[in-house]
Amino acid sequence: MRRAGPLISMTAIAAIAWSSSSFAAEATPTEKDALVAARAVRLSEKLRCLVCQNQTIADSNAELAQDLRRQIHEQIAAGKTDDEIVAYMVARYGDFVLYQPPVKSTTMLLWAGPALLLIGGFAGLVHLVRARRTEAETPPLTDEERDRAARLLGGDGGKDLA
Amino acid sequence: MNKKRLIPLGIFLVLCGFLLAGLWRDPREVPSPLIGKPAPPFTLARLHEPAKSLGPADLKGQVWLLNVWASWCVSCRDEHPLLVELARAKIVPIVGLDYKDDSTAGKRWLADNGDPYTVSVMDGDGRVGIDWGVYGVPETFVVDKAGVIRYKQIGPLTAEALEKKIVPLIRELQKS
């Protein structure tokens, strides 16, 4: 229990600091507007524009993107959370609107793919290196082979070569 | 050793398979999450009688089409003759959603090109379009008797899509 003490008080301080900072931000209207704008930008950077598919709603100037930015602003003003706004977009346009696809059974390969490729590649590399190493280690000559080599090299077991 | 040499070829063939499949897929066609879901409700003023409104609730009990169009939409001109023909066959009521359009321009466009719509409604600011997940006009939805979206055509209707998918689907839904 004693050990948990500092941790609890630190969490409490952090929580108070966090909440008071958010209260402070909401106190003055100009800062609140800035917060709303920042939230809207952050959200629209997560969402894909379906008209020009390689741009986010934040980047795109397509009319649909403008309309969707307006929707985001309105929903923030209406007090919706980020998750609720994202869910609103997904309900209408599907997971495709999310730049970061959700982890689901259908997207498992997408998420696990890079890791699987890395593991596969590493396994392949290890296999290759091991194969090379056994190839490089030439087995010692048998007595028969040594005799034959000696004969070829000069007849008397190659001793005078040494 | 020979078998090992075939591995890169195998990988290459698999890659080719994926690329080949990709040739027949349109990246602009994003499957709608709304298929199988109730049609998003709306109450919009009619294009020709702004005092009167219409919404999916008024069409419950019958199979109907919602065609999203606009006078500024170029590819709507491609599909328009097919819609006029479909309307003439009187198979199904066609509701037109005039998306982000000016009502005067919309009315003139219909007067010039023919009006296949049982009723057209005005979605001037595109909010209903967003609720229906519209992102590329024209789009066409098939709604069943219970008010559930059963099919969505993204982009202009084609004679093939009408004959092979949409009309058979409408007939089947009308039977049930």
Residue B114 domain flag:
yes
Q: Which residues of A touch B131 (CB under 8 A)?
A: 92
| B28/A92 Cβ within 8 A | no
- Residue bearing the bigger pLDDT, A135 or A48: A48
| A50/B30 Cβ within 8 A | yes
Give the CATH number for residue B101: 3.40.30.10
A24-33, A70-79, A125-134, B159-168 — which is least confidently predicted?
A24-33
Residue B8 domain flag:
no
Residue with tokens 């199904």: B92
The predicted structure's pLDDT at residue B1: 57
Q: Which residues of B touch A94 (CB under 8 A)?
A: 30-33, 133
Residue B115 domain flag:
yes
Residue B6 domain flag:
no
pLDDT mean across residues, chain A: 80
> Quick check: A71 contacting B, CB < 8 Å?
yes
Residue B51 above 50 pLDDT? yes
Summarize pLDDT for B122-157 with one digit per residue, the tens. 999 999 999 999 998 899 999 999 999 999 999 999
The predicted structure's pLDDT at residue B83: 96
Residue B57 domain flag:
yes
Residue B86 domain flag:
yes
Indicate the burial class of A131 (C-beta count within 10 angstroms; 0-12, 13-18, 19 or more).
Answer: exposed
pLDDT mean across residues, chain B: 93
Summarize pLDDT for A64-115 with one digit per residue, the tens. 899 999 999 999 989 999 999 999 999 999 888 998 888 888 888 889 999 9
Residue A153 above 60 pLDDT? yes
Best mutation target among B4, B30, B73, B123 (most A Cβ atoms within 10 Å) is B30
Residue A162 above 70 pLDDT? no
Q: What percent of chain A has pLDDT over 90?
A: 32
A27-31, A35-39, B62-66, B87-91 — which is least confidently predicted?
A27-31
Residue B29 domain flag:
no
C-alpha distances (whole Å) from B157 to each of B12, B82, B153, B154 are 37, 7, 7, 8
> Quick check: A93 contacting B, CB < 8 Å?
yes
Asked whether the CA dihedral B47, B51, B56, B58 is positive or negative, the reply is negative
Domain count for chain B, please give it: 1
| A53/B33 Cβ within 8 A | no
The CA distance from A51 to A94, in Å, is 14
The number of CA neighbours under 13 Å toward the Cβ of A41 is 6
Measured in angstroms, the CA of A9 and the nearest CA of chain B are apart by 47
pTM of the model: 0.73
Residue B28 domain flag:
no
> Quick check: A34 contacting B, CB < 8 Å?
no
The predicted structure's pLDDT at residue B96: 96
B114: domain range? Answer: 34-175
The predicted structure's pLDDT at residue A26: 45
